[in-house]
Amino acid sequence: MTALLPRVLRAATLCVVTAVALVLGSAPAWAHAELESSDPAEGASVAKAPGAVTLTFSEAVAPNLATISVSGPGGTRYEAGPATGSGPTLRVPLKPLGAAGGYTITYRVTSDDGHPISGIVPFTLTTPGPAAAAASPAASAPSAQPAPAPTAAASDDGGAPVWPWIVGAVVVVLGGAALALRRNRT
């Protein structure tokens, strides 16, 4: 029985090392870019209309593959050009904002691994922007009801789930242990 113990320990160690290698080797498959911050920040109330929006991600994203739009009350769009930037930060210039109310930054970017990431960043403009002053007085009159705040969407649109890797690792470990025990009995 004492000669059996080193063989079982060796087989169990091999199974654990193999399982760890499988799990660590799969890590890049679930490492997608995530939105880390925005300017204006998510849910922020700003008094002065921003001239641009800035999004910062957890890893580099390609500006030429990014789509970023900014819409305000009534669905009016305010982006004044394409996304620019380098590394993890993208910037989009804005036209002068209009009425006070809820604004939404909608983005879709591509991670370094090619996975598309999308989401929504709502913010509120508390003072009418420069474009509201150019509108007719009737159109810029404040409404009796505040604009509803947009709801945020998840920033990850799928990707590979982690659970198959965990199940696979457990199967490998249990299978290796069973094989080692079976070989040692014969």
Among 9-18, 79-88, 125-134, 153-162, which range has the highest average pLDDT? 79-88
- 42-64 confidence digits (pLDDT tens): 999 999 999 999 999 999 998 88
> Are 104 and 70 within 8 A, CB to CB?
yes
161 versus 44: which is more confidently predicted?
A: 44
**DSSP secondary structure string for all residues of 10-35:** HHHHHHHHHHHHHHHHTGGGG----E
Taking the model in full, what pTM does it have?
0.59
Any idea what the Cα angle at residue 81 is, between residues 53 and 38, rounded to 5°? Answer: 15
- Tell me which H or E stretch contains 174: helix 163-185
pLDDT attached to residue 181: 76
Q: 3-class secondary structure for 99-152?
A: CCEEEEEEEEEECCCCCEEEEEEEEEECCCCHHHHHCCHHHHCCCCCCCCCCCC
> Are 22 and 170 within 8 A, CB to CB?
no
Neighbours of 90 (CB within 10 A): 23
106-110, 163-167, 176-180: range with lowest mean pLDDT: 163-167
165 versus 158: which is more confidently predicted?
A: 165
Mean pLDDT of the chain: 78
4-13, 96-105, 150-159: range with lowest mean pLDDT: 150-159
